[in-house]
Each structure stands twice: as C-alpha cells, then as structure tokens.
C-alpha cells in the first residue's frame, strides 16, 4: 500500500467527521480477537482518543479469542468491557425452541445480532456511534450478518482489502500474533472465513484489484456478490402512483 500514513490519517479523520456530523462524541465497537477489530481499535484511538469503547462480547467463544481481544485493547490503551452474552443466547434459543431447516446458521447468526443490540445500548447511553469492522473483501461478497455485524453506523474498513488491513495493522503496531492469526468469525468451533466462504482471501483481494484469478473462484465471488446485494442496500420501498389512491 502506497502512502500508508496518509491512508491511516484519512480514515481516522473520516471517522471523526462521521461522528461530528451526527452530533456524537465518539465510537463503540466490538473486539473479537481478530485482525479487523484490532485495526479498528488503533484507528478509533487515533480518531477519538479517550472517547471510544471496545466491547468484548463472548458468546460460547474460545478463551483464546477473549484473551487476544483484551490484549489488543490493553496494547492500545483503549477503554473496554467484557460482557458474556452466552446466558442471553441460551435463554433466547430456549424460548425459540428447535427448528428443522437451517437451524444451525439461524442460531449462529443470533450471536452477532445480540452483539449489535449490546453495541447500540452503549452507543445510546454514551452518545457514541457504532463502528463496524467489515473489510472491503467481506463487504463485496456479503460475508457479514445482516443486522448483526452489518448493523452499524459506519464501516471504516470497507475500503480496505484483507491484505491492506494486514498492512495497515502492521503500520499501527498490532501484535504480530494477531496479524498472523487465521481469520475466523468464531461462531462455532473450527470455523474459518475461507472455509465458510469457499474462496481464499488471496483470490478475493486479487479480484478486487482487477487481477486474473481462477475461473471457479471468480464465479463463486460474483455469485456471492449478487446474492448478498440486499445486505448492502436499504430495505426496498415500492413506488406507488399517487392517483391509485384517488377515490373513484
């Protein structure tokens, strides 16, 4: 990435501009222990100094991820809270009962949606904005939960490919073990981003740069992009003719 210092400064300045335009004084964000949220911690501290809050929101998550998340927050001297959402998740799914089809993913998607509700609670009480961690590669193919980690007020990383996130993270001094960590949403044991998507970040980033990639990977990327368009758009509203409401 060229002019990495300029890129870093422009993103944090944009974050301040977004909060200022909404009359907010800072930002709140989830920190998972992964690379994208680690970079966001660094950017948020640069943008808002003390007016930011990282929330670590385990929900039957691994202890290692929680430890990595808190390590990053301490590394950047960012205020944070650890709130275990597992009891809420268990109560909620107990009320919902069992379903036959697609139950596994439906329940997995409840986790980021519970996190979204928690983030907005703190945003409302502190006059902060909710800041997302989705990068450009994930955003393009819709690899995020609608009204979950996609339910935010701004997406500062959505202009950066996964490789660019890695470069910018090294610029800010994110611990190398986080930079080298296998990307995972942590929604279930053994989950990885690339395994779930069915494509590699290498091919996805290359496609976004306009480079040639294997045909099967390109087909998969374009298919995911088309099917996830609804995630990147506001809910559609029908166009109605005014005269259709006139009395006969």
Domains of the chain (ranges; CATH) run 4-191 (3.40.50.620)
Instruction: Read off the tokens for 52.
Output: 């930011």
Q: The dihedral of CA 211, 216, 155, 71: what is its sign?
A: negative
Interacting residues of 57 by C-beta distance below 8 A, sequence separation 6+ = 30, 83, 84, 85, 114, 115, 118
- CA 235/CA 146 separation, integer angstroms: 11
Query: How many residues in total does the chain contain?
Result: 248
Grouping H, G, I as helix, E, B as strand and the rest as coil, residue 113 is helix
Q: What is the pLDDT along the chain (248 residues), one digit of tens a residue?
A: 679 999 999 999 999 999 999 999 999 999 999 999 999 999 999 999 999 999 999 999 999 999 999 999 999 999 999 999 999 999 999 998 876 656 788 888 999 999 999 999 999 999 999 999 999 999 999 999 999 999 999 999 999 999 999 999 999 999 999 999 887 766 667 778 888 899 999 999 999 999 999 999 999 999 999 999 999 999 999 888 766 666 65
DSSP string over 29-54: EE--SSHHHHHHHHHHHHHHTTSEEE
Spatial distance between the Cα atoms of 12 and 182, rounded to a whole number of angstroms: 26
CB neighbour list of residue 224: distance below 8 Å, 6 or more residues apart? 141, 142, 143, 197, 199
- Mapping DSSP to helix (H, G, I), strand (E, B) and coil, where does residue 117 land? helix
φ, ψ at 27 (rounded to 5°): -140, 150
């Amino acid at each position: 990435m060229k002019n990495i210092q300029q890129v870093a400064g422009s993103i944090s300045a944009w974050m301040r501009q977004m909060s200022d335009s909404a009359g907010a004084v800072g930002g709140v964000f989830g920190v998972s222990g992964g690379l994208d949220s680690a970079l966001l911690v660094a950017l948020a501290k640069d943008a808002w100094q003390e007016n930011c809050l990282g929330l670590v929101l385990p929900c039957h998550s691994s202890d290692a991820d929680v430890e990595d998340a808190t390590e990053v927050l301490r590394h950047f001297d960012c205020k944070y809270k650890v709130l275990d959402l597992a009891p809420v998740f268990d109560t909620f799914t107990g009320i919902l009962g069992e379903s036959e089809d697609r139950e596994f993913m439906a329940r997995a998607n409840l986790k980021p949606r519970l996190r979204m509700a928690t983030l907005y609670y703190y945003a409302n009480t502190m006059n902060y904005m909710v800041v997302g961690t989705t990068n450009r590669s994930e955003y393009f193919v819709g690899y995020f939960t609608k009204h979950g980690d996609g339910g935010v007020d701004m997406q500062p990383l959505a202009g950066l490919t996964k490789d660019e996130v890695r470069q910018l993270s090294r610029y800010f001094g994110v611990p190398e073990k986080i930079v080298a960590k296998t990307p995972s949403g942590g929604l279930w044991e053994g989950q990885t981003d690339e395994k779930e998507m069915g494509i590699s970040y290498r091919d996805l980033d290359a496609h976004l740069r306009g480079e040639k990639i294997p045909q099967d990977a390109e087909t998969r990327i374009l298919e995911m992009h088309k099917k996830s368009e609804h995630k990147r758009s506001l809910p559609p509203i029908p166009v109605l003719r005014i005269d259709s409401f006139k009395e006969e």
